[in-house]
Structure 1
Amino acid sequence: MDFWIMLGKYIVLGIIQGISEPIPISSSGHLIIAQRLLGLGVEDLSFEVVVNTASLIAVILVYKSEITRLAVSSYEYLWKREDSQKDDFKLVLYLIIGTIPAAVLGFLLNDFIGENLKSTFTVGVALLLTAISLFFIRNMKGTKNMHKMEWKEALLIGIGQSIALIPGISRSGATVVTAMLTGLNRDTALMFSFLLYIPVSLGASILEIPDLFSQNFTSENLIAYGAAFAASLVCSYFALKWFIDIMKKGKLIYFSIYCLFLAIITLFIL
């Protein structure tokens, strides 16, 4: 019976991670709330690595054609000097620039955030800020596409992503909001946001590999982790597909209302 309870707990948390990671409602905030509200706590950090890696794979699957195009174009520009591929190569450089703020701040502040900013109060305030930000840009459309981006815009979006290290600040929300404030159109803002997610998430997962393999896993743990991984992967994939559709329709107000509602519950009830 204990195994089935553990399995169910891990699957539920995997589903929560999967649904909340791509859409602008903060996966880290939701996991903290779930642990408090439902008593679904998981003690070791390796679980977060597993479900985050599943979300990362889902993002790569959704944007695999764009990733392949950028890789091929960068190769052709660097080694074959194909000027027609210059814009895609510049985008890769912008992704590198945009990755720097979160990578640096994550390295410097990871322990501090883990020890001091995982309270429900912090999550509630951060969700409120997310709600306000999404409401503010709900009707923005923007005019710039990828080819009109500059490195300064990429850096600003990267700074937005670094702010999302605070639990309750949505990563996708912070990057999309920042991107649209710089004038990017919705499609470009969304695609750059998730392409920017890949190197940061991949780097974080790689850094946690030694800790992951240092754990003494039982067969039951492995089954539970595998189930959580699968749940997170499937839910992340379909949640991202849904978010892309929502962005095209300009319905960010839905997420703003949801974050506001959850912030009120977190601040005044939990």
Structure 2
Amino acid sequence: MTDYTLYLLKATLLGIIEGFTEFIPVSSTAHLLLLVEWISFPSDSNKVFEVVIQFGSILAVIWLFRERVWQLVKGTFSGDRTEMMFARNLIIAFLPAAVIGALTIQFIKSLFHNPLIFVFTLVIGGFIMLWVERKPAYAKQNPGAAIDEGLTATSERATSYTLEEITWKQALVVGFAQCIAMVPGTSRSGATIVGGMLAGIHRKTATEFSFFLAMPTMLAATVYDLYRNGGALSSDQTWGIAVGFIAAFFSALFLVKAVLRFVSKHTYRPFAWYRIALGICVLIWLYAR
């Protein structure tokens, strides 16, 4: 096996891991950065590979929700009030991360090189998720009652049960929660889902809104990173990104619906405990190497 073939195989593995972790609250970025270190993947110093292949996962969501995306686009431009309000909420939720991310991108990228950051964010994030899930207001009243691909009884705390019912204030809370997720190990999906739940959005609806918010967020991050650093990529690195991108797309394609089915019947506690366990494992690895 040639070094180049091994490089592409590693890129494929990283893409698969990205697709499987992007939409569950365990931090796909932390998984990618740790795996890059563990399998000695030759990533560039600006971590363009790790950022760009994440959009492969987002394309899978766009494809799976293509009818709803088209309804949103068509309704927004035709003046449909419901769709215009939904588009407004996505823009409101997107703007905080766009502005703060543009101002702090170099600092955020510098954190990618410090695995100790992952230990802190993974463990603390896990405990925050456990705290939220233990609150009676967010508990499922009837986890087994599932209709329409998993819609279940709502919690007493929720005031928005569908995407169209989300208010601009709730969208803003989700937007600022997404800013926290720029710190590696936090989890973009985890921060936006928990932020949405705390703002009064039902668990499944918060998950769906997180999926839709990922579309403009990761598109902007991908375009910005390629604009800033794409010219410095070698031919091999470009092919590696392409392979990882495709692998992330197909692995996410199989996961998204499963995530929605899972959260309609279960809490996020298993992911919280996984985060804590992974953080402890990373800490042990850091001190043992």
CA distance in 2 between partners of 1:132 and 1:113 (Å): 23
In the alignment, what sits opposite 1:233? 249
3-state SS of 2:26 partner: coil
1:16 paired with 2:17, answer: yes
Q: Which amino acid aligns with 2:258?
A: W
| Aligned-CA RMSD value | 1.9
Paired residues of 2:64 and 2:253 also in contact (CA < 8 A): yes
CA distance in 1 between partners of 2:213 and 2:237 (Å): 32
Assess, with a 3 A threshold, how the Cα gap between structure 1 residues 252 and 216 changes in structure 2: closer, same or farther: closer
Q: Which amino acid aligns with 1:91?
A: F
Q: What are the ranges of 5 or more consecutive residues in structure 2 without an aligned counterpart?
A: 139-154
Q: Which amino acid aligns with 1:132?
A: F
In the alignment, what sits opposite 2:220? 203
Deviations 1:59-109 (A, max 9, x none): 2112212211111221221xxxxxxx3122111111111111100111011
After TM superposition, the score normalised by the length of structure 1 is 0.89
1:163 paired with 2:158, answer: no
1:188 paired with 2:188, answer: no
Paired residues of 1:246 and 1:252 also in contact (CA < 8 A): no
In the alignment, what sits opposite 2:36? 35
Q: What are the ranges of 5 or more consecutive residues in structure 1 without an aligned counterpart?
A: 78-84
CA distance in 2 between partners of 1:156 and 1:132 (Å): 20
Aligned partner (choices 55, 62, 85) of residue 53 of structure 1: 55
CA distance in 2 between partners of 1:269 and 1:217 (Å): 31
* Aligned length in residues: 262
3-state SS of 2:52 partner: helix
Aligned partner (choices 243, 250, 257) of residue 273 of structure 2: 257
CA distance in 1 between partners of 2:197 and 2:48 (Å): 34
Paired residues of 1:23 and 1:239 also in contact (CA < 8 A): no
3-state SS of 1:168 partner: coil
Shift of residue 235 of structure 1?
1.1
Shift of residue 234 of structure 1?
0.8
Deviations 1:181-214 (A, max 9, x none): 1111122111111111111111112223334651
Assess, with a 3 A threshold, how the Cα gap between structure 1 residues 89 and 213 changes in structure 2: closer, same or farther: same
Assess, with a 3 A threshold, how the Cα gap between structure 1 residues 3 and 143 changes in structure 2: closer, same or farther: same
CA distance in 1 between partners of 2:125 and 2:253 (Å): 22
Assess, with a 3 A threshold, how the Cα gap between structure 1 residues 268 and 39 changes in structure 2: closer, same or farther: same
In the alignment, what sits opposite 1:131? 126
CA distance in 2 between partners of 1:216 and 1:254 (Å): 38
Paired residues of 1:54 and 1:229 also in contact (CA < 8 A): yes
Shift of residue 255 of structure 1?
0.6
Deviations 1:91-129 (A, max 9, x none): 111111111110011101110111245311101110112
Paired residues of 1:125 and 1:267 also in contact (CA < 8 A): no
CA distance in 1 between partners of 2:208 and 2:263 (Å): 11
Shift of residue 132 of structure 1?
1.5
Aligned partner (choices 117, 134, 140) of residue 122 of structure 1: 117
Shift of residue 262 of structure 1?
0.3
CA distance in 1 between partners of 2:26 and 2:226 (Å): 27
After TM superposition, the score normalised by the length of structure 2 is 0.84
Identity across matched positions, percent: 30
Bigger CA drift: 204-213 or 177-186? Answer: 204-213
1:104 paired with 2:115, answer: no
3-state SS of 1:138 partner: helix
Paired residues of 1:20 and 1:27 also in contact (CA < 8 A): yes
CA distance in 2 between partners of 1:167 and 1:49 (Å): 11
In the alignment, what sits opposite 2:89? 94
CA distance in 2 between partners of 1:216 and 1:181 (Å): 41
1:174 paired with 2:174, answer: no
Assess, with a 3 A threshold, how the Cα gap between structure 1 residues 34 and 69 changes in structure 2: closer, same or farther: same
